[in-house]
């Protein structure tokens, strides 16, 4: 059958991943640095091809997903920098790559890289691409807390190529009101979604527990999971000493866990090159459809927090490219940093919350582990294994960066694609999202106001910050906080329905302050 396939058709031929457990054992000094972790994952991916030596020698492009240590809006974490990760990995592998890429931040980047290199391979611009990423934040933070100095820095020379969207994720207005941490922002989406569904807090909390219990069940059976512990829907949904609120209504068990030590890598090439390298055909995985789209960049300017136009549009494009519908999909890994990210995808793809196919192959970011910007590389590697186990079945992977901002998806199968591989340029359809209407945003808000959505941010001691997205009488939107230190106001916002509540907003000392009636 493969003889009739266009030899330039892009395929994934190897995937590797691992979870390093030393930090969980308190052995922080024994944890591997980024370059050894990346190299280990790369070798696992090469071994998975069945032709490791030939494949490694043929690598002409290496792309590394940005480390969280290099990604924070708050500044770089205090550990030595790896100035050119792709070249450092190339040296460990004994190869020289023509292209060296170090991506922008964002959980969308692993899938975006697969989409990009599929196009590069189909066009003949790349022969064999290695895509890899890792996160060792558990070791890094554990070592820092223990007073250990990590010598992880490495300067391999050269400057890697940039890839992806490097724009700052928030503006100063959003940051001033606390709307710049994922744990603060996704709860804003969640309460808006709850309102659209007409549910009380208790009703919706029960549904969230049930939704994420399905992820947790998969993670509990996955030996690579950071937390392979089975939890009931009630346990996930109910706040308590071990499961405190992080950002209302999200409990700890609903949040992505970023303090993990995990790495994953993928090798891509063409059908013709795979034959030349001796990669067995049973290893080949085809990318049938793919797409990327970005929602309106600034959260404060999005017209509707209950849906993601970008996920819906990219889904339409990917399914059209593949000639499939959601009914044809047997396996899914829907990005799950928080429940609202999953709910956006369910809405976009027309999926019910209890769809029997399930929504993850790994176990999701709160349980398998949210390996920084690189989680979706684990999704892709796991999906490769799953579709190989079910020849001809189709698997969907979605990816999400920042605050449900940057999105990418891919549809995978061992079934060959038909005809020349070609995708639509994402820039052409991105114009549809960019042209969507946006509300008028008022920076200095004063007067009668109504809550559009809200959250209460918690630390280990309880409520610490109330965040309100509101509307003035003329319909213009504003961001605000509850009065500083007013725990009673924050508790009141959780005890009573906040959506649609009336109050007043005033601007003082560079911030808007909302007081409920």
Look at residue 3 and tell me whether its pLDDT is greater than 90.
no
pLDDT in tens, 188-204: 999 999 999 999 999 99
- Tell me the average pLDDT across 111-130: 98
**In the block, residue with structure tokens 């030595």:** 80
- Tell me the average pLDDT across 402-413: 98
**Residue 324 corresponds to which tokens in the numbers above?**
């499939």
pLDDT in tens, 269-286: 999 999 999 999 999 999
8 A C-beta contact, residue 492 and residue 516 = yes
- Tell me the average pLDDT across 452-456: 98
pLDDT in tens, 349-368: 999 999 999 999 999 999 99
Report CA dihedral (270, 273, 279, 285) to the nearest 10 degrees. 0
> What is the predicted pLDDT for the residue at 491?
97
* Distant-in-sequence, close-in-space partners of 162: CB < 8 Å, separation ≥ 6: 101, 102, 103, 104
Q: For the chain, give the percent of residues with pLDDT over 90.
A: 95
pLDDT category, 149, cuts 50, 70, 90? confident
Look at residue 91 and tell me whether its pLDDT is greater than 80.
yes
Query: Mean pLDDT in the chain?
Result: 96
Residue 41 CA to residue 64 CA, distance in Å, equals 11
pLDDT in tens, 156-169: 999 999 999 999 99
> What is the predicted pLDDT for the residue at 19?
98
8 A C-beta contact, residue 485 and residue 271 = no
**In the block, residue with structure tokens 């992806």:** 164
Residue 498 CA to residue 510 CA, distance in Å, equals 24
8 A C-beta contact, residue 48 and residue 15 = yes
Residue 243 CA to residue 222 CA, distance in Å, equals 22
> What is the predicted pLDDT for the residue at 497?
97
Residue 26 CA to residue 22 CA, distance in Å, equals 6
Residue 398 CA to residue 411 CA, distance in Å, equals 9
Residue 234 CA to residue 246 CA, distance in Å, equals 17
pLDDT category, 73, cuts 50, 70, 90? low
Look at residue 109 and tell me whether its pLDDT is greater than 90.
yes
Give bridge partners of residue 18 from the DSSP assignment: 263
Give SS3 for 395: strand
- Tell me the average pLDDT across 230-234: 98
* Distant-in-sequence, close-in-space partners of 495: CB < 8 Å, separation ≥ 6: none
**Residue 102 corresponds to which tokens in the numbers above?**
């170090």
8 A C-beta contact, residue 399 and residue 107 = yes
- Tell me the average pLDDT across 501-515: 97
- Tell me the average pLDDT across 377-383: 99
Residue 130 CA to residue 174 CA, distance in Å, equals 37
8 A C-beta contact, residue 34 and residue 134 = yes
> What is the predicted pLDDT for the residue at 4?
86
Residue 500 CA to residue 481 CA, distance in Å, equals 16
> What is the predicted pLDDT for the residue at 74?
54
Look at residue 1 and tell me whether its pLDDT is greater than 80.
no
Say which DSSP state 246 is in: E
What are the CA-CA distances from residue 378 to residues 15, 130, 322 (Å)? Answer: 9, 14, 22
Rounded to the nearest 5 degrees, what angle is found at the Cα of 246, between the Cα atoms of 241 and 250?
Answer: 100
**Residue 243 corresponds to which tokens in the numbers above?**
């499961």
pLDDT category, 81, cuts 50, 70, 90? confident
Cβ atoms within 10 Å of 430's Cβ, excluding its own = 16
- Tell me the average pLDDT across 137-162: 93
pLDDT category, 2, cuts 50, 70, 90? low
Measured over the CA atoms of residue 377, residue 380, residue 381 and residue 382, the dihedral's sign is positive
- Tell me the average pLDDT across 76-90: 88
> What is the predicted pLDDT for the residue at 76?
63
Residue 138 CA to residue 68 CA, distance in Å, equals 11
pLDDT in tens, 422-444: 999 999 999 999 999 999 999 99
> What is the predicted pLDDT for the residue at 80?
79
> What is the predicted pLDDT for the residue at 40?
98
> What is the predicted pLDDT for the residue at 407?
98
The count of C-alpha atoms lying within 13 angstroms of the C-alpha of 496, restricted to the half-sphere facing its C-beta, is 11
Say which DSSP state 78 is in: S
Residue 10 CA to residue 308 CA, distance in Å, equals 29
> What is the predicted pLDDT for the residue at 79?
77
**In the block, residue with structure tokens 């609202």:** 340
What are the CA-CA distances from residue 285 to residues 57, 74, 382, 517 (Å)? Answer: 21, 39, 12, 58
Look at residue 90 and tell me whether its pLDDT is greater than 80.
yes
Give SS3 for 369: helix
Q: For the chain, give the percent of residues with pLDDT over 70.
A: 98
**Residue 389 corresponds to which tokens in the numbers above?**
């186990």
Say which DSSP state 168 is in: -
> What is the predicted pLDDT for the residue at 75?
61
8 A C-beta contact, residue 318 and residue 208 = no
pLDDT in tens, 20-61: 999 999 999 999 999 999 999 999 999 999 999 999 999 999
């Amino acid at each position: 059958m493969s003889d009739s396939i266009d030899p330039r058709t892009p395929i994934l031929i190897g995937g590797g991943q691992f979870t390093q457990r030393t930090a969980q054992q308190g052995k922080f000094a024994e944890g591997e640095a980024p370059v050894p972790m990346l190299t280990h994952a790369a070798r696992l991916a090469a071994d998975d091809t069945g032709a490791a030596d030939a494949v490694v020698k043929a690598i002409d492009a290496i792309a590394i997903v940005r480390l969280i240590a290099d990604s924070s809006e708050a500044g770089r974490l205090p550990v030595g920098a790896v100035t050119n990760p792709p070249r450092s990995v190339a040296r460990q592998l004994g190869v020289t790559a023509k292209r060296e890429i170090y991506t922008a931040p964002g959980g969308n980047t692993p899938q975006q890289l697969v989409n990009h290199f599929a196009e590069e391979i189909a066009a003949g611009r790349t022969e064999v691409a290695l895509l890899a990423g890792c996160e060792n934040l558990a070791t890094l933070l554990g070592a820092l807390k223990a007073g250990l100095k990590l010598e992880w820095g490495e300067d391999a020379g050269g400057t890697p190529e940039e890839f992806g969207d490097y724009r700052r994720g928030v503006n100063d207005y959003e940051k001033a009101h606390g709307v710049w941490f994922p744990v603060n922002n996704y709860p804003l989406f969640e309460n808006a979604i709850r309102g659209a569904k007409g549910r009380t807090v208790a009703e919706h909390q029960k549904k969230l527990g049930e939704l994420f219990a399905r992820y947790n069940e998969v993670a509990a059976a996955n030996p690579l999971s950071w937390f392979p512990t089975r939890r009931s829907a009630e346990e996930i949904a109910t706040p308590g000493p071990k499961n405190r609120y992080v950002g209302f209504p999200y409990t700890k068990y609903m949040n992505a866990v970023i303090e993990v030590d995990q790495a994953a890598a993928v090798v891509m090439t063409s059908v013709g090159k795979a034959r030349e390298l001796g990669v067995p055909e049973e290893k080949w995985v085809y990318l049938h459809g793919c797409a990327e789209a970005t929602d309106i960049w600034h959260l404060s300017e999005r017209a509707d927090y209950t849906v993601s136009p970008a996920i819906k549009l990219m889904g339409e494009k990917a399914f059209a490219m593949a000639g499939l519908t959601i009914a044809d999909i047997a396996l899914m890994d829907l990005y799950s940093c928080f429940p609202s990210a999953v709910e956006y995808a369910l809405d976009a793809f027309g999926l019910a919350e209890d769809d029997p196919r399930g929504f993850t192959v790994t176990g999701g970011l709160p349980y398998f582990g949210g390996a920084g910007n690189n989680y979706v590389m684990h999704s892709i590697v796991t999906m490769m294994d799953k579709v190989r186990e079910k020849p001809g079945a189709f698997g969907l992977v979605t990816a999400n960066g920042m605050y449900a901002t940057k999105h990418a998806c891919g549809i995978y199968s061992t079934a060959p694609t038909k005809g020349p591989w070609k995708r639509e340029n994402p820039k052409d359809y991105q114009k549809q999202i960019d042209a969507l209407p946006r509300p008028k945003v008022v920076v200095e808000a004063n007067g009668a106001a109504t809550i559009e959505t809200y959250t209460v941010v918690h630390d280990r001691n309880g409520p610490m910050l109330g965040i309100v997205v509101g509307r003035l009488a003329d319909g213009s939107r504003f961001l605000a906080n509850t009065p500083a230190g007013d725990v009673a106001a924050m508790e009141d916002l959780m005890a009573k329905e906040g959506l649609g509540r009336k109050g007043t907003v005033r601007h003082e000392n560079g911030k808007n302050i909302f007081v409920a009636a």
